[in-house]
Amino acid sequence: MCSSLWYFLLVILLVEGVTRVYIVDRAFLSPYGELARINDNLLRHRGLPEVVFFGSSQTQAAIATREMTEHLGIEPHLLVNASAAAGGPREMFYLFKSNRELFRETRVVYINVDTWMFNRHTFMAEQHGTTAWRRSATWHDRLTFPANWNTRADWVLGWLYATWDQRDTWRFALRDWFRNPWTYDPEIIYDCFGRPVAGFLTDDRHITHEMLVEEAKALVASQMQQFEMNLDAYDELARLVAVIRAQGAEPVFLRVPTSPEYLTAKAAAKIDENDIWLRFYERFADVAMLDLSGIVLSDLQYWWDPYHMSRTGAMTLALSVVTDLRQRLEFP
């Protein structure tokens, strides 16, 4: 009996060691399965791209690479949208590093940046502590961040035993390691515009101004709740910029438009965006920026929801990106 207990404790400790050394490093804000599918898509990509776009679902929806290649008169494989849902600096760095061989002839890499990427507590309102949040959440975070008693107990247990904290990461990692038709969808997730959008963004959706207003309030509340600077995000961006330059490509930061309703909701949240972007520009003064966030598109046809462009919006935005590409590269 005593021997069995010791073996049990040894297994628990071994699993905990693997969690702290390896599994916690795979705790991404993006859905783990989506990162795996995007990697698989990139692995099957025919030809070497010259331009790559990294970002979140915002750039999944807004960057229509096929539309751009048609305007430029070049082969579709030369432009790739490698954005991932909820993809922030850490997810972008992971995807670039995982596919460096594919990007060996890439000349320009656009890196989507937005305010929510610099909030340590982003998406907490809807997910109650993602695995990504848990990997860096302090004891103080777990005791003071607004939550009900059972959620807080969950966080405290996760502080003591990281394997409990990262149980979802373990589950997704195991599904990725032992793939089968019931747990993994190998299908290509690029749409007809060359955007790697999955699920909801590919559907048609009829929206009203009232819907945009309410959805914008809920989204901003989730993105900006208990805003606290995530300094790690700056470090991850710096690592991404460094590895892009080491590859011989030019990094370009990209800001994408959002709906007027989203901008109104964000202004009401009273986040000091000027301070956030001031810090950003001070840190990355030597990196180019394509800032399209000032483009105002008020017609409902341009939006799938307050934050994501419709196909019409993406086709319109493509013209601005094409103009920038023509200035940076010898495209027609």
Q: Which CATH number fits domain 2-328: 3.40.50.1110, 3.40.50.300, 3.40.190.10, 3.30.1490.100?
A: 3.40.50.1110
For 317, residues 6+ apart whose C-beta sits below 8 A from its C-beta are 62, 63, 64, 256, 257, 292, 295, 309
Question: Can you read off the two tokens belonging to residue 268?
Answer: 């009401």
Q: Where are the domains of the chain?
A: 2-328
User: Among 263, 291, 307, which residue's Cα sits nearest to residue 58?
Assistant: 307
Chain CA centroid to CA 311, Å: 20
In a 10 Å sphere around its CB, with 0-12 CB exposed, 13-18 middle and 19+ buried, how is residue 212 labelled? Answer: buried
pLDDT in tens, the chain (332 residues): 677 778 888 888 898 899 998 999 889 998 777 888 888 888 888 899 999 999 999 999 999 999 999 999 999 999 999 999 899 999 999 999 999 999 999 999 999 999 999 999 988 866 678 889 999 899 999 999 988 888 999 999 999 999 999 999 998 888 877 776 666 666 656 776 777 765 567 667 888 999 999 999 999 998 988 888 898 999 999 999 999 999 999 999 999 999 999 999 999 988 888 888 988 999 999 999 999 999 999 999 999 999 999 989 999 999 999 999 999 998 77
Instruction: Supply 181's token pair.
Output: 């038709």
CA distance 230 to 115: 11
Tell me, rounded to whole angstroms, the distance of Cα 292 from its chain centroid.
Answer: 18
Contact 67, 74 (CB under 8 A): no
- Whether 54 and 87 have beta carbons less than 8 Å apart is answered as yes
As a whole number of angstroms, the distance between CA 253 and CA 54 comes to: 10
pTM beyond 0.85: the answer is yes
